[in-house]
Amino acid sequence: MTLKERVKKALSFESPDKVPYQIGFTRPAAAKMAEHFGTKDFKEFIGNHIASFSPALPGERQEAAPDTYRDEFGVLWNRTIDKDIGTPEPFLTGPTLSGYRFPDPYEPSRFAGIEEFLERNEDRFVIANLGFSLFERAWTMRGMANLLMDMVERPEFVEEFLERIVEWNLVIIERALEFPIDGMRFGDDWGQQRGLIMGPVHWRRFLKPRLARMYGKVTAAGKKVIIHSCGDVDDLFDELIEIGLDCFNPFQPEVMDVYGLKEEYHGRLAFWGGISTQRLLPYGTAEEVRKETQRMLDAGRGGGLIVAPAHSIPGDCRLENMLAMLEVLRTQTE
């Protein structure tokens, strides 16, 4: 089987010859691996099954100061501490979009080089990645506390704000679907360690109907819908399935019973993740990592699972643990 075929089997709840896997790294973790392998190109050795691209403008991140950049929506990101994502500095000081102009979703350069990317990754499962796709896009522009208060005090503004974001997203989705991709992954963290950030009532009012529109575009094109939402959000799984979700990521064992949920939702919802990045990889032993990675692989034998760390591996994870996980994933037998 090709890497792509394994992922398709897994997402269809069929048994692949080997369980597909995907490993992502933060910059500090990648630096450890690069030093170990003696090359920054060590990722070719990993054997990842998924290739993703983001339809962002080339050079859209403009440096505003050392370790600080401004994205195309106007948000400043401070990377002095977190070198991978950074801390956003929202700019909408009031509940209004008056005078604000969204970036051009039709800009041709967003998909520059996509043909070459698809050709290089023809044996992998290719997804278009739309990060900060709704709630996250709104709060990074308005501020988390402000947006949550707006949901209570100024719901009409929130409706207008999210609708503008969705309209922008739908153009990007339609353009991405013009290419022979296999699916789309939406990034939109709704959870914290316990429950939803905005609560179920506001999630259902403000987010669910708009998610349904975005997911529906992808489903109608015969492609797979994947969501990345950190935190304790498993109470939403049935509703997400209802609006077209195929695969949930990151599947965090710290906040979910990953083995119980894998069994409960088999045939209805696939999962991507499962290996702890908060506990096991930074604090476990290499042998514990090997055992848990093998246990995850065993859970994925019948399909429905892409084994992966629950998030991009953070810098506090020990090199020997990353290598132990990789060893088990790469040497699995049929």
CA proximity to 240, closest of 251, 250, 227: 227
Task: Give the mean pLDDT of the chain.
Answer: 95
pLDDT at 261: 98
* Residue pair 184/225 in contact by the 8 Å Cβ criterion: yes
Cβ neighbours of residue 38 closer than 8 Å, sequence gap 6 or more: none
pLDDT at 62: 75
Q: What are the sequence ranges of the domains in the chain?
A: 3-330
User: Using omega within 30 degrees of 0 as the cis cutoff, is the peptide bond preceding 250 cis?
Assistant: yes
Tell me how far apart the alpha carbons of residues 241 and 238 are, in angstroms, rounded to a whole number: 5
* CATH 3.40.50.2000 holds for 3-330: no
Residue 31's alpha-carbon distances to 42, 65, 237, 268, 314, in angstroms, are 10, 24, 36, 38, 11
pLDDT at 220: 98
> SS3 for the chain, per residue?
CCHHHHHHHHHCCCCCCCCCECCCECHHHHHHHHHHHCCCCCHHHHCCCEEEECCCCCCCCEEEECCEEECCCCCEEECCCCCCCCEEECCCCCCCCCCCCCCCCCCHHHHCCHHHHHHHCCCCEEEEEECCCCHHHHHHHHCHHHHHHHHHHCHHHHHHHHHHHHHHHHHHHHHHCCCCCCEEEEECCCECCCCECCHHHHHHHHHHHHHHHHHHHHHHCCCEEEEECCCCCHHHHHHHHHCCCCEEECCCCCCCCHHHHHHHCCCCCEEEEEECCCCHHHHCCHHHHHHHHHHHHHHCCCCCEEEEECCCECCCCCHHHHHHHHHHHHCCCC
Question: pLDDT 10s per residue in the chain (334 long)?
Answer: 999 999 999 999 999 999 999 999 999 999 999 999 999 999 889 999 999 999 988 766 777 788 899 999 999 999 888 888 889 999 999 999 999 999 999 999 999 999 999 999 999 999 999 999 999 999 999 999 999 999 999 999 999 999 999 999 999 999 999 999 999 999 999 999 999 999 999 999 999 999 999 999 999 999 999 999 999 999 999 999 999 999 999 999 999 999 999 999 999 999 999 999 999 999 999 999 999 999 999 999 999 999 999 999 999 999 999 999 999 999 997 5
* Residue pair 325/21 in contact by the 8 Å Cβ criterion: no
